Amino acid sequence: MRAARDHAGPCDGAGHDDDGMDETGPILTAPRRAFMEEARRAVLVTSGSSGALRPVPVCFALAPPPRDVLWTPLDEKPKQSEDPRRLARVRDILARPGVVLLVDRWDEDWSRLGWLRLEGSARLLEPDEGLPDEVEPAGVDDRDRDRFRATDPAEHAEAVAALRSRYPQYVAHALERLPVIRVSVSRAVGWGTALTTSPASRR
pLDDT at 13 over 90: no
Instruction: Encode pLDDT of 97-119 as tens digits.
Output: 999 999 999 999 999 999 999 99
Give the pLDDT of residue 6: 46
Confidence of residue 92 (pLDDT cuts 50, 70, 90): very high
Give the pLDDT of residue 76: 74
What average pLDDT score do residues 173-180 get?
A: 94
Please, what is the average pLDDT of the chain? Answer: 82
Instruction: Encode pLDDT of 23-33 as tens digits.
Output: 468 999 999 99
Q: Are 89 and 72 in contact (CB under 8 A)?
A: no
Give me the DSSP letters along the chain.
-HHHHHT--TTS--S--B----TTS-SS-HHHHHHHHT-S-EEEEEE-TTS-EEEEEE--EEPPTT--EEEEE--SS--SSSSGGGSHHHHHHHH--EEEEEEEE--SSGGG-EEEEEEEEEEEEE-TT---GGGPPTT--HHHHHHSEEE-HHHHHHHHHHHHHH-GGGGGS-GGGS-EEEEEEEEEEEEETTSS--GGGG-
Give the pLDDT of residue 197: 52
Instruction: Encode pLDDT of 130-163 as tens digits.
Output: 455 444 555 555 555 556 678 899 999 999 999 9
Give the pLDDT of residue 1: 36
Q: How far is it, in rounded angstroms, from Cα 106 to Cα 21?
A: 25
pTM of the predicted protein model: 0.80
Domains of the chain: 24-195 (2.30.110.10)
